[in-house]
Amino acid sequence: KAGVTQTPRYLIKTRGQQVTLSCSPISGHRSVSWYQQTPGQGLQFLFEYFSETQRNKGNFPGRFSGRQFSNSRSEMNVSTLELGDSALYLCASSLALRRNDEQYFGPGTRLTVT
């Protein structure tokens, strides 16, 4: 079974631009979560989608948004990029049928904002 895939793997953007990252979950998984990883703040939860609905959102500004499609694929968008948005963005998928279902992570998209 294929794992979680994320595209692109690397991205360089300029301040003020916007960016869209994509995540394809493991087949059959209906939940997709996004995390931001930076050296200073560590791994922080961005949001989680289940069956095209956002179930939970972390403490990030409104510039960060996401969506999930009917095939469970998810995208996240960051508008008006700031230098501090440079990070590894990780996507995780889960069956999410039970509270303790493990999340399977993709390789991440490394975003650099210059």
Partner 1 sequence: AQKVTQAQTEISVVEKEDVTLDCVYETRDTTYYLFWYKQPPSGELVFLIRRNSFDEQNEISGRYSWNFQKSTSSFNFTITASQVVDSAVYFCALSEADPNDYKLSFGAGTTVTVRA
Q: Are strands 109-113 and 10-13 parallel, antiparallel or unpaired?
A: parallel
- In whole angstroms, how close is the CB of 56 to partner 1 at the nearest point? 6
Q: What is the secondary structure of 9-78 as a DSSP string?
A: SEEEE-TT--EEEEEEPPTT--EEEEEEEETTTEEEEEEEEETTEEEEE-S--TTEEEEE-TTS-EEEEE
Nearer to partner 1, 70 or 99 (CB): 99
Reading the block at residue 75, the tokens are: 């995208």
Nearer to partner 1, 78 or 89 (CB): 89
Return the residues of window 4-43 that contact partner 1 according to CB under 8 A: 31, 33, 35, 42-43
Assess 95 for contact with partner 1 (CB under 8 A): no
Assess 88 for contact with partner 1 (CB under 8 A): yes
Total of residues contacting partner 1 (CB under 8 A): 26
